[in-house]
Structure 1
């Protein structure tokens, strides 16, 4: 019955799209365009297409501005729906001479004009004397996403990508590096518009290895269109890395230092060379980070016969070295065709030592015995990704074709030693020490290819089509050894090898039509998935083959000049991380461990969002989503083994309600404020957890505020704070978290030198406390980490800065499909 109902849903979606296409044809036939139009193309001094030039439509009678626009990637521009009258066209670019064309008369006898190719020439006087002080706001709210412009933020200097995400509006990151957006886990994280395909643990390692100085901006997309992969029930986070677009040869070098409980250092170099046909770029960043973390677990192991009280304290010192780089080349075949190659990689290696002391007794505060452990570990994570891309702008109407081919390989190696000493109440050894070790090598290969095509049906209607195929192959080994008779002996009962292969084939269609005050976009994405999980040692194989349709709908209505409302719907999927499918038992210490679940099923989400915008500034959204077979971490106690463990299970459903308010305020000319409030309610239900029905839910909220004070064109101060209220996720009850950061930025020598001073968690407030929503689970987990850090970062920019303002891409107009030209 459910299958029939699902097919009916899909047929209904297809029927809606067909009706919509027929409507377009009828509208076009019954309502022919009667308004005027002026179009053309802008060229630079080398006769190359000039993107993002400012173009104004002027009244020829008094030169008053009627409307304005920017030229596209291929230099073209267009003014549509013009009333009868005489017009001038003005071209304005910093560092170039102003140009005026016209007048052009719009009337019944002629409704369309083309200015032809307008070439701009540099103004040497302006280039010498101009000083560009405009800077993008830290947080921008766009129609389909929120953008964090962290490139020039003092608070981003010296932090890693994961630490920057922790400060982002609506984003939370837990102690294991798992990311939630608007109160929901299941976020797809992309680098330069490309999915990482990594497990949560591997993704956290990648983000910890990515220095914040390498990041240009972060895009938060809560309800993606069919053009994006259907993965990610809470949306997409796209991290865009820096890339210099200045002509000539230029670059920058920076060095930074930090001090918390331990010393930190980071630095980097960026180089770029651009000429008429060629753009070559590269950057390298390095960071050394020594940090402290403490974890205390108090729990009661209760059986029908007795109770056992555990009080475990651990302190860990982690010494980590991170490096990441990006390099690429763009070849501009001509004005309309670009071929590019890009590569990026990271390396993270280090050592950590955890000192664990576990007190055990039959009553609180009484110690009958204890276990003292010293657990050292070594690790290394590396990754390389390669991209070959091609983009063709077929005509000036916006017809485009792009193709991408990608290959990535990630490797990791961990060696964890556990040295446990058993002591009695008097502190004396009462049985032999227990020493064991595990080695965890992992290898991941990723292959993907995709093509995208954009076809403008008419001036108001655009069709996007695309195909994509990806292949992921992972090889995970787990070698468990005990130290017996002065030698290491392999424990075959705890060692294993797990192989996982996944292939996803996808096709999508998006059609977008703009009416007078209404914009409608319909999309449909089809994905066919083939996966195979093979636990070699256990001889368990799980094969899956399934096909899904993912419809999406976006409607935006301009109520008036200052008021806009929107509605969106999308269906999405989250496939299990292959690390969560891996059945290994991975020990954290003697009494705590985690293991995978090879029988995890994918979760499906239907998400709805209603939005309101006032003057494109105050933005309010209301969202609801329903997720079936929701995957959730479950922290439980094993009363027989007297241990505590984490596993991922499918709960039946999650219903999520959220409200987000983003309000940037220009308090004075020198003081701007951006405030973001997210309120959400997550309700989890499942018919059987530990043998009985389970239901939990709680209203929670996150609040972020950033204050920017501009003392003069060279000096600014940033202050930011966040508060995350008590919340429930799955079976975990998480106490409030909060913190305050402060930063100062100062430029010297015509902005060639920039000095940033920042303090993270200046009041040392950040900590974590977790309990269980299950009455039978009696535990408290307290964590504190080295969050209070003071940093100084100095950056020096050198080389050519020719027409930087004109060539710098605008985040507001950049679409996901344009990333081909940016080199990946």
Structure 2
């Protein structure tokens, strides 16, 4: 079935569901939740749960939790409620200030932990409704489940809507302009850049609970230059649950994803699977002026392309708690990408007399497949000393990528008539990779609970084998002949051994100091079979860090941080194979690249109140041995783009992120970041580098007129600087509406992407002897409908309403 037919079917279904739901005059007013044991995460059966109306405390509803720890109060009156939970052998728990109202008539309290302590004093929690964006101690939490844009989206699309997070035209993720460490459920993702991009583009947004941006990360990740992004997946309630999502978009987008979860007595299983199909069309041009001593000429290129992709994915997550001190986690993951692309390019060379000196047209057809399975196993042991634990994480991943590109170039006269000369080439790329890692993390607090030790050791190993074959069709025999100079065959191996130790001291509540250092040894080896040689390099680094944090009861917080960071070049930057996709612009990596290191100084100040939060950050970075993509002009009129180490760079950074609760129904958030790069005199005079600034911004708003409707809007604008110029992009827009019906088992979402302006990028590049302007527009406008159905087993134990005054009279 064509994607547009599926979209039409979903639209008809939407209006049918709206019509049926309009017949439901009365809304259920409910409070539901699951009671679990804090020590072992098991369900607490038979706990007494009371829902007490604060406007009339004589009217109370009681519920005994079922075998899954669940309770379900329904048909409640509007108003404020207090929920009181008690069970034999547990400390009583009170959840206060739950407000049932017309715009939100039901609350799911999810897992409610009871402490296994037989004391009379009850623990009191003031209930606060979860906003779309939260901020605490300079860190950001994007509650994906509260967004109308999550259904039908991918992890990549949701990251673009996260404050301070940006992705460039190549899919590279950055936080305040620097590359972060990506975690999934607190476990590091040890993949190369392309594998990570494939993983995030295939991960359904419906499986994500929240995205955490840790600008002030924990000690084990303190040396990451861009902080940490932690993607937390949904775990499900105690018992059985399942969800199915079906979506289709006007751009040709369609897909389905499913989720199954089961939790009981320390055992939990989450299974996610899905497949998505996408289409993109793009068009653009580039104008390059080549400047010589006595003349200049131009190269003008116009291009268009059509890209299709199918991305199936699978993820199995198993948690098992052997006892309250020992727990295991196992994750098996698989994602695949199948691509089919076609493109057209027209090249026009203009001489110094403004005459066409050469004209040609080139068509490109390519097919590609990649497979990325991985497994992750972790074990945690908690000792009898409170807060002391040891955690081990082992990860293993494989990857295989195959692509075939066919090029046909026809040369034309100035009047567009064929010259009779043409050229046919074929480029085949086969890459196999594997990697494994082991992390051991140990945390131990002192007896006085004011000083704590955190230490760990890690080992990472990555291997890649790349075989690139370029063939030219030999005429008149019409047979392909291998071009040795444009082909390559090599293996790449990299080892990283890291040891870390840090101490944290709490002077008093809200005032702490953390200091430590990481010690890293990196080895990498290139086996270049074509050239019959090897290239080996190793480097040792000491990476200290320190953090001073102060917070006050009025919501103010202040953080001063220093860290020494390192950015290692990956296979994408080191790969020496030549990309022949554009005969006038050759691209390849540089196996001689050195790592880039920096001294990073940051200050973050913020204030968090019930109605708003606001944060301001300023920083200074001294970056050594910067490596960046550099374009140079060769004497034959071609340009080469490769990676090179340049001299040091100074960075001045300022950013802000804030949120405002305008009302219970309406909340808005904004973030912006500006980084100014300043290069040395040699680079500016000889290489013609330019100082410049990068600006990123994001605005989002969430409106909940009722508990059934959610409206979300996200807008962003980015401008990136590079040593040779700038990249300008326009505003990106994503607007969504979500409606729940049939007791919220059915969810319908409508998303609109870039309804007014499609995504555009304009790049200006300046070299010592050339100027280049490039423009690209991608047809990102899309109207997507998502239909979701939840299979959740609810509690069946009947509740009873008690009028306390009547009972006393009797």
Question: Which among 629, 632, 637 is matched to residue 625 of structure 2?
Answer: 629
Q: Does 1:173 align with 2:164?
A: no
Partners of 1:211 and 1:718 lie apart in 2 by: 18
1:740 is displaced (CA, Å) by 2.4
Deviation at 1:151, TM superposition (A): 3.2
CA distance in 2, matches of 1:291, 1:135: 39
Question: Residue 119 and residue 419 in structure 1: after superposition, are their counterparts in 2 closer, same or farther (change >3 A)?
Answer: farther
| CA–CA distance in structure 1, aligned partners of residues 395 and 665 of structure 2 | 45
The question of 1:246 aligning with 2:237 is answered yes
> What is the match of residue 387 of structure 1?
376
Shift of 1:312: 0.7
The structure-2 alpha-carbon separation of the partners of 1:491 and 1:328, relative to structure 1 and needing over 3 Å to count, comes to: same
Map 1:787-806 to 2 at 5 A. Answer: 787-800=780-793
Find the residue that maps to 1:204 and give its secondary structure: helix
Map 1:116-155; keep pairs closer than 5 Å: 117-118=117-118, 136-143=130-137, 145-155=139-149
5 Å-filtered alignment, 1:645-724, equals 645-685=640-680, 687=682, 692=686, 694-724=688-718
Matched, 1:312 2:286: no
| Aligned pairs for 1:350-749 within 5 A | 350-362=339-351, 366-395=355-384, 397-457=386-446, 458-484=448-474, 485-516=477-508, 517-559=510-552, 561-615=554-608, 617-638=613-634, 640-685=635-680, 687=682, 692=686, 694-725=688-719, 727-749=720-742
Other-structure match for 1:71: none
Picking from 204, 217, 222, the partner of 1:224 is 217
**Aligned-CA RMSD value:** 3.1
Deviation, 1:633, is 1.3
Match of residue 39 from structure 1 = none
Matching of residues 2-401 of structure 1 within 5 Å: 44=36, 48-49=40-41, 117-118=117-118, 136-143=130-137, 145-184=139-178, 186-228=179-221, 230=223, 232-240=224-232, 242-260=233-251, 263-362=252-351, 366-395=355-384, 397-401=386-390
Distance 1:198 1:181 in 2: 18
Contact kept? 1:223, 1:569, Cα under 8 Å: no
Q: Equivalents in 2 of 1:666, 1:719: separation in Å? A: 15
1:188–1:295 Cα change, 3 Å: farther
**1:454, 1:464 within 8 Å by CA — same for their partners in 2?**
yes
- Indicate conservation of the 8 Å contact 1:533/1:543, yes or no: yes
Conserved? CA contact 1:651–1:685, under 8 Å:
no
Greater alpha carbon shift after TM alignment, 764-773 vs 189-198? 189-198
**CA distance in 1: counterparts of 2:432 and 2:184, whole angstroms:** 20
| CA deviation vs aligned residue, 1:566-623 (integer Å, no higher than 9, x gap) | 1111111111112221211112222222111111000001111111111352111111
* Whole-Å separation in 1 of the counterparts to 2:582 and 2:599: 39
- 1:230-265 Cα distance to aligned partner (Å, 9 max, x none): 4x433333333x2323111211111011113xx110
1:188-227 CA distance string (max 9 Å, x none)? 3333334434333443333333333333322223353441
| 2:185 and 2:231 in contact (8 A); partners too | yes
Q: CA deviation at 1:46?
A: 11
Deviation at 1:443, TM superposition (A): 1.2
Is the 1:388–1:406 contact (alpha carbons within 8 Å) kept by the matching residues of 2?
Answer: yes
Query: Which moves more between the two structures, 559-568 or 761-770?
Result: 559-568
Contact 1:681-1:697 at 8 Å conserved across structures = yes
Tell me how far 1:695 sits from its aligned partner: 4.2
What per-residue deviation string (whole Å, max 9, x for no partner) do you get for residues 407-428 of structure 1? 1111111111111000011222
Aligned-residue offset at 1:147: 2.1
Q: Does the CA-based 8 Å contact 1:480-1:495 persist in structure 2?
A: yes
Contact 2:659 2:669 survives alignment (8 Å): yes
What do the CA deviations read for 1:131-168 (whole angstroms, capped 9, x no partner)?
A: x9976322222325322222342223333332333333
Q: CA, structure 1 residues 258+118, in 2 after alignment: closer, same or farther (shift >3 Å)?
A: farther
**Could you say which residue in structure 1 is the equivalent of 2:23?**
none
C-alpha distance in structure 1 between counterparts of 2:226 and 2:351, whole Å: 44
Q: Does structure 2 retain, via aligned residues, the 8 Å contact 1:739–1:763? A: no
Distance in 1 separating the partners of 2:662 and 2:38: 43
TM-score by length of 2: 0.81
Q: Distance in 1 between matches of 2:435 and 2:306?
A: 33
Q: 1:702 to 1:518 in 2, by over 3 A?
A: same
- The equivalent of 2:801 in structure 1 is none
Separation in 2, partners of 1:783, 1:213:
31
CA contact (8 A) 2:688 2:766 kept: no
SS class of match (1:164): helix
* Matches of 2:714 and 2:688, distance apart in 1: 38
- How many Å separate the matches in 1 of 2:450 and 2:593? 45
Q: What is the rounded CA distance, in whole Å, between the counterparts of 1:363 and 1:445 in structure 2?
A: 51
Q: Work out whether residues 226 and 550 of structure 1, in 8 Å CA contact, stay in contact via their aligned partners in 2.
A: no
Tell me the secondary structure at the aligned position of residue 360 of structure 2.
Answer: strand
| Cα pair distance change 1:615/1:237, threshold 3 Å | closer
Distance 1:301 1:686, change over 3 A: same
Q: 1:552 to 1:45 in 2, by over 3 A?
A: closer
Alignment partners' CA distance in 2, 1:46 and 1:620: 36
Residues 1:364 and 1:703: Cα distance change in structure 2 (over 3 Å): farther
1:226, 1:525 within 8 Å by CA — same for their partners in 2?
no
Measured against aligned partners, the alpha-carbon deviations of 1:265-322 in whole angstroms (never above 9, x if no partner) come to 0111101122214222211021000111113111123333543322111111001001
Deviation of the 1:471 alpha carbon: 0.8
For residues 686 and 259 of structure 1, the distance between their equivalents in structure 2, rounded to whole angstroms, comes to 51
- Alignment match, 1:61: none
Change (3 A) 1:292 1:96: farther
1:677-726 per-position Cα deviation (integer Å, ceiling 9, x unaligned)? 2122122337358x91544222443221111111101101112212224x
Unaligned runs of 5+ in 2: 1-33, 50-81, 94-114, 121-125, 797-810
